[in-house]
Amino acid sequence: MSDYQEHGKKAGSVSSKQTKSDIAVKVQAQAPELSHSWKRIIVTIWIGQAFSILTAYSSMYAGVWYVTETTDSAFMLAVASLCSMLPQGLLSPIGGVIADRFNRKYVLMAADAFVGAMALIMGMIIMMGHVSVELVLIMSALRSVGQAFHIPAMESTMPLLVPKRHLVRINTLNQSLWSLALIVGPVFGIFLYTVIGFQMVLFLNTLGCAAAVLTIATAKIPDFHDTSDEARHPIKSLKAGFATLNADRGLLVMAGIVMVVISMYAGINSLFPLMTYDQFNGDGYMASTVEAAYGVASLVGMGILFVWGGGRRLLRLVALSGFGAGVILVLTGLLTPDMFVFFVILTGISGVVEAFFNGPLLAVFQKRVPPEKMGRVMGLFTTVTALSSPIGLALAGTCAEFTGVANWFVIAGVVVSIGGILLGTLPILRKLDKEVAATFDDAKVVKRKVELRSEGSNAAAKE
């Protein structure tokens, strides 16, 4: 038995005097031992997800382009965005319950297979000549349903596969894949839509999902799930997820602040093209330059975080990132119309700074929450982040009409900076940060089978 398991037993025997750091160690002891070949497992999964995500974004932007060409309506584009976010926001808690109740490997495979099957069916319908805006909206909603089950399962699986000291690196690697998809997806999707047709883009998405299913099927993922009676009842299981988050007041306060920050930033992101046009009298080329600067800089920031690992004080890093991002927004709002170059530079800097937000934030949850309840808590957090976006978009669109786009950048920047300050200074969050920093040690990595057989042979010889 490892030292952590011994410590876990001692922690379990302590009564009301049990500390949260003891609980954290006990949580570590409950997780299965790490595989010696965990790097190979992660690479295998990542390759499949890369095909799936890149082809999914390509088909999504092909759909956006179809809606743009067909309707030329900003309202319909907003409806399409809502269809792609709302099901994920509403169903992620259920996806979290499923991830904790069943083998997460099969949940991941089922989610990818569902999205691939829907893309195949939609592609066949379009090939028969029945394409319509309504069909594209349905496709967006169904993809969002698949994501509602896929994201909680994937984010709750990573702590079972990766040493805790590398969680930030792996989260950053996954975030870089999404960022790359945001950069490549629009160009690739619209290009394929124009050259080979809408239905072929969807068929390509089906192949990408098939690759994801195949790689997950071949990866060795522990069958670790909640076997309690509570987990067998969906409502009770969902309540247990709420109770887990509510019991850890530090996580609850952190999630509330993060929701406000994400809401403000989601709205600001939608205003960047308008900022280029209104404040700097720019054109489409200038707007593309701003987006490219942000995308490339984000990948640079993620590369730095991947090499560094984020250190131990993860919440402090999240707080500094939020504060820095808010300051940059304020400076951006104060630029004059002849300072477009500085707008591009500040946007690039913000891409680097924001890269230090998501990966460490996710790792705080992954280190803090018991593995058997991880899916439910990540499902709830996915709902928080998914629903923050439409709230932020509505708020930014309404308020910017009255304040002006540049002034709204300043207002949003102040709110984001305050959020960063609170994340770094509130006593309950500083305590949370210290407790998370104490959970960096890992359980033993499972030895190679050859070594195990050798040890078994030695033991038999001694007997």
In a domain, 310, yes or no: yes
Q: How confident is the model at residue 316 (pLDDT cuts 50, 70, 90)?
A: very high
What is the CATH classification number for the domain harbouring 197? 1.20.1250.20
Question: Are the C-beta atoms of residues 361 and 323 closer than 8 Å to each other?
Answer: no
Q: In the 3-class helix/strand/coil scheme, how is the chain assigned residue by residue?
A: CCHHHHHHHHHHHCCCCCCHHHHHHHHHHHCCCECCCHHHHHHHHHHHHHHHHHHHHHHHHHHHHHHHHHHCCHHHHHHHHHHHHHHHHHHHHHHHHHHHHCCHHHHHHHHHHHHHHHHHHHHHHHHCCCCCHHHHHHHHHHHHHHHHHHHHHHHHHHHHHCCHHHHHHHHHHHHHHHHHHHHHHHHHHHHHHHHCCHHHHHHHHHHHHHHHHHHHHHCCCCCCCCCCHHHHCHHHHHHHHHHHHHHCHHHHHHHHHHHHHHHHHHHHHHHHHHHHHHHHCCCHHHHHHHHHHHHHHHHHHHHHHHHHCCCCCHHHHHHHHHHHHHHHHHHHHCCCCCCHHHHHHHHHHHHHHHHHHHHHHHHHHHHHCCHHHHHHHHHHHHHHHHHHHHHHHHHHHHHHHHHCHHHHHHHHHHHHHHHHHHHHHCHHHHHHHHHHHCCCCCCCECCCHHHHHHHHHHHHHHC
Report which of residues 196 and 442 the model is more confident about: 196
Q: What is the pLDDT of residue 399?
A: 80
In a domain, 448, yes or no: no
Question: What letters, b where the CB count within 10 A reaches 16 and e where it falls short, cover 191-206?
Answer: ebbeeebbbbbbbbbb
- Total structural domains in the chain? 1
In a domain, 20, yes or no: no
Question: With pLDDT > 70 as the criterion, what percentage of the chain qualifies?
Answer: 83
Q: What is the pLDDT of residue 14?
A: 37
Span 356-378, pLDDT tens digits: 998 888 888 888 887 777 888 88
Domain containing 40 equals 33-437
Q: Quote the tokens at residue 29.
A: 């002891």
Q: What is the pLDDT of residue 446?
A: 46
Q: What is the pLDDT of residue 229?
A: 60
Beta-bridge partner residues of 445: 34
Q: Quote the tokens at residue 209.
A: 């999902």
Q: What is the pLDDT of residue 20?
A: 44
Q: What is the pLDDT of residue 427?
A: 95
Average pLDDT over residues 331-337: 93
Is the pLDDT confidence value at 458 over 70? no
Q: How confident is the model at residue 8 (pLDDT cuts 50, 70, 90)?
A: very low
Average pLDDT over residues 224-238: 65
Is the pLDDT confidence value at 305 over 70? yes
Span 380-428, pLDDT tens digits: 887 877 777 778 877 877 787 788 888 989 999 999 999 999 999 999 9
Question: Are the C-beta atoms of residues 96 and 154 closer than 8 Å to each other?
Answer: no
In a domain, 11, yes or no: no
Average pLDDT over residues 256-266: 87
Is the pLDDT confidence value at 113 over 90? yes
Q: What is the pLDDT of residue 440?
A: 62
Average pLDDT over residues 82-98: 85
In a domain, 22, yes or no: no
Q: How confident is the model at residue 232 (pLDDT cuts 50, 70, 90)?
A: low
In a domain, 291, yes or no: yes
In a domain, 442, yes or no: no
Report which of residues 251 and 400 the model is more confident about: 251
Q: How many angstroms separate the CA atoms of 214 and 198, rounded?
A: 25
Span 132-173, pLDDT tens digits: 888 989 988 999 999 999 988 898 888 888 888 888 888 888
In a domain, 343, yes or no: yes
